[in-house]
Amino acid sequence: MPLEISFETRDLRTTCESSTRAKRALGELGSEALQRVLADMNAVETVAELLEMDFGIDISIQEQGMLRFQLHEDISLYCDANLISMPSPGEALDWAQVTRLKVVHIGSSK
């Protein structure tokens, strides 16, 4: 079963699902990069598999469970691990157990 992707807002969902909308919002290169990242998310079962692909995904130190995918220049896709309960502070998140991500922002910074 592929990684389950949800969206913080309907607007984000529409941008991710409509190439026309993504091109308007992110430009041609940003839109193409977004589509590649989303396709890669749909090709794996866990976030650990994405991390193994070595996209240069940044894992936030400040916000546990937050990932940043660099799309183009100053445009990034921000996702949260969509877990029922996060590990306690100081405990490592086991990305092999994360099968759901929530898209929370697309832009220059969260």
Mean pLDDT of the chain: 90
Question: Cα(74)–Cα(7) distance, rounded to whole angstroms?
Answer: 21
pLDDT at position 87: 67
Half-sphere CA count of 26, side-chain side, radius 13 A: 30
pLDDT at position 1: 83
> Are 108 and 14 contacting, i.e. CB atoms less than 8 angstroms apart?
no
Per-residue pLDDT at 80 exceeds 80 = yes
Burial (CB count <10 Å: 0-12, 13-18, 19+), residue 107:
middle
